[in-house]
A and B are shown apart, each in its own frame.
Chain A
Amino acid sequence: MDLLAFFDIAVLDGTVRLATPLLLACLAGLFSERAGIFDIGLEGKMLISAFLAAAVSFTSGSVWIGMFAGIFASVLLSLLHGLASITFRGNQLISGVAINFFASGITVVAAQSWFGQGGRTPSLSGDARFESIQFPGALTRIRDINKADLPMKVYSELLSGHTIIVYMCILIVPLVWWILYRTRFGLRLRAVGENPGAVDTAGISVVRMRYMAVIICGVLCGMAGAYLSTGLQAGFVREMTAGRGYIALAALIFAKWKPWSALGATLLFGYLQALAIRPDILERAIGIRVQTQVLDALPYILTVIVLAGFVGKAIPPKAGGEPYVKER
Chain B
Amino acid sequence: MTLFTKFFGATAALALTAGAAAADPAIIFDLGGKFDKSFNEAAFTGATKWAEETGGTFAEFEISSDAQREQAIRRFAEEGYNPIVMAGFSWGTPLATVAEEYPDLKFSIIDMVVDAPNVQSVVFNEHEGSYLVGMLAAMASEDGTVGFIGGMDIPLIRKFACGYAQGALAVNPDATVLANMTGTTPAAWNDPVKGSELTLAQISQGADVIYAAAGGTGVGVLQTAADQGVYSIGVDSNQNYMHPGSVLTSMLKRVDTAVYDAFTAGTELEAGFNVMGLDNGGVGYALDEFNAELITADMQAAVDAASAAIAAGEISVHDYMSDETCPVLEF
Contacts and interface: CB of A to CB of B under 8 A. Distances in A.
A110 to B, nearest CB: 14
B104 interface: no
Interface in B196-216: 196-198, 200-201, 203-206, 208, 216
Contacts of B74: none
B192 interface: yes
A232 B193 CA distance: 7
A278 B37 CA distance: 28
Contacts of A280: 205
Nearest to A14: B197
A10 B201 CA distance: 7
Given A233-B220, A237-B216, A277-B198, A118 B41 contact: yes
B23 to A, nearest CB: 29
Contact of B33 (A119, A243, A293): A119
B11 to A, nearest CB: 36
Nearest to B38: A118
Contact of A14 (B33, B183, B201, B216): B201
A118 B237 CA distance: 14
B129 to A, nearest CB: 23
Given A233-B220, A237-B216, A277 B194 contact: yes
A142 B204 contact: yes
B93 interface: no
A120 B40 CA distance: 15
Interface string A107-123: 01000100011111001
Nearest to A232: B193
A14 B198 CA distance: 10
A262 interface: no
Contact of A238 (B41, B190, B200, B205): B190
A151 B31 CA distance: 46
A228 interface: yes
A142 B187 contact: no
A146 B206 contact: yes
Size class of the B contact interface (CB-based, 8 Å): 20 to 34
B252 interface: no
Interface in A122-150: 123, 141-143, 145-146
Nearest to A115: B35
A14 B223 CA distance: 17
Contacts of B193: 18, 228, 232-233, 240, 242
B214 to A, nearest CB: 11
Size class of the A contact interface (CB-based, 8 Å): 35 or more
A17 B204 CA distance: 16
A242 B35 contact: no
Contacts of A120: 35, 216, 219
Given A233-B223, A240-B191, A242-B193, A118 B198 contact: no
Nearest to A296: B183
Contacts of A292: 181
A17 B197 contact: yes
A63 interface: no
A238 B36 CA distance: 10
Contacts of A237: 190, 192, 216, 219-220
Contacts of A243: 187
B192 A142 contact: no
Nearest to B186: A239
Given A120-B216, A235-B223, A293-B184, 4 more contacts: A119-B35, A145-B204, A242-B187, A273-B194
Interface of B: 33-37, 41, 180-181, 183-184, 187, 190-194, 196-198, 200-201, 203-206, 208, 216, 219-220, 223, 228-230, 242
Pairs A-B, 10 closest by C-beta atoms: A118-B35, A242-B191, A10-B204, A142-B203, A239-B190, A277-B201, A237-B216, A142-B204, A237-B192, A277-B197
